[in-house]
Amino acid sequence: MTQTYSNEEVQQILREATMIQKDDYISPEQLQEIAAEVGISAETLQKAEKAWLEQQKASHKQAKKRKEFIRFHLIPYLAVSIFLVLLNLATTPRDFWSVYPILGWGLGVTIDGSGICSKNNKKIDRN
């Protein structure tokens, strides 16, 4: 009785093999040879590589948006919020008015950040 593997198992085995392999990189020619050995056509490999490159590009773009959000929205919000609380405590400690601008601005930052930090990216068409 011969052992058979599902596509997912093949992916896991190949991923493990590449982790064990001494070389850090596989050339495009080697990739084509591997694909041919497991019965993947050159055309299918090209489509897969193109989809992977698009995913990488989208991932880098998303990471850049997150960094910009933190730099231009979140850090100023936190700094101004701390300033407002300190100003509030120094001037009118009995009336905690700083909570209103902090909550209002925080709502805007939260709405803006939820769109940027969500994990729902556009699905790439694999056809």
Return d(Cα 99, Cα 33) in angstroms, integer: 63
Domain ranges within the chain, ordered by starting residue: 1-40, 41-127
pLDDT of residue 119: 61
The pLDDT profile of the chain, 127 residues, written as one tens digit per residue, is 678 888 888 888 877 887 787 667 788 888 888 888 888 898 999 999 999 999 999 999 999 999 999 999 999 999 999 999 999 999 999 999 999 999 999 999 999 889 887 765 444 444 4
Answer yes or no: are the C-beta atoms of 98 and 87 closer than 8 Å: yes
pLDDT of residue 125: 44
- pTM higher than 0.75, yes or no? no
pLDDT of residue 5: 87
pLDDT of residue 123: 44
**Tokens linked to 51:** 């989809």
Answer yes or no: are the C-beta atoms of 105 and 77 closer than 8 Å: yes
CA-nearest of 112, 77, 71 to 98 is: 77
